[in-house]
Structure 1
């Protein structure tokens, strides 16, 4: 039996094959990222999913520590776009056709661990922690500031003080000119 030697050309082809295999596996891996990364209370957030294989027919979203039926938010069928709510479904949750989960009007109560699950070449799960920023931001709104009544009260008070100062000044001026009575 003749022993094959590894030529530089064959070694290069093997390295290229390994590199392509690794890059194909990594490009098809599930990824989830919240957009924005840390939403403020009242904002919308999308738990954006990428790397879903084309042959997947169902998406499942869970909330909590495991993918038990009691933690299922919803299931989505790609074939007919049917959404089936789970036991942890909430009205602010909206599934998108690419599998991403949109949560509208986020509150601090939505801060939790979320798991995206698909069945493609076996069960694949990807988890993400949603952090919600509940710090107060004071930005003046269109109706911020003083009411009309408060402004009128301030104007009247200023006018009264000015009139009192004028009357006091006139009295003091006359008192100094004529001397004491």
Structure 2
């Protein structure tokens, strides 16, 4: 009897003691990619999972919610048509855009209370592996090379045309 009561208490309170976490995969997604906001340590006994855009749960910032039976309660309240909510509470955003970057909050309602976690989704906006300074340096080098070739051709033509007239 004591072992089963202890087991129930540990199962019920262990996630509350350590809290939820959100793992973003990939860590630095690029626009156009899919990203998964994976909820870890979610209790199996949740009643409702809700996702919000922002650092705090607010009805006006709600994206989507799901009940314990896996059916969505509300969907796309912010016009996020590219989201999927999985039965484990994780959120997937398809075709990532700049409007998707920022904080996300997940709220998990259980009989015992409420758990929340936050994550900051940062997009990798770089278009290539080169920095802006490197690209500018390459442009200046190409322009200088073209100018040098142009001056060399001009001097060569002028030298040959002046020597041909004598």
Q: Structure 2: any 5+ residue segments left out of the alignment?
A: 1-9, 130-166
Q: 1:37-48 alignment to 2 at 5 Å?
A: 37-48=27-38
Task: Pick the aligned partner of 1:94 from 84, 89, 107.
Answer: 84
**Which structure is larger by alpha-carbon Rg, 1 or 2?**
1
Q: Distance in 2 between matches of 1:25 and 1:74?
A: 23
User: Contact (CA 8 Å) 2:101, 2:121: kept in 1 or not?
Assistant: yes
Alpha-carbon RMSD across the aligned residues, in angstroms, is 2.4
Aligned to 1:129: 120
Cα separation, partners in 2 of 1:122 and 1:89, compared to 1, 3 Å:
farther
User: Contact (CA 8 Å) 2:19, 2:115: kept in 1 or not?
Assistant: no
Count of residue pairs brought into register by the alignment: 118
Aligned to 2:105: 115
TM-score (norm 2): 0.63
Aligned to 1:81: 71
Q: 1:3-18 alignment to 2 at 5 Å?
A: none
Q: Distance in 2 between matches of 1:68 and 1:86?
A: 14
Q: Distance in 1 between matches of 2:15 and 2:33?
A: 35
Q: Structure 1: any 5+ residue segments left out of the alignment?
A: 1-20, 139-181
Q: Structure 1 or 2: larger strand share?
A: 2
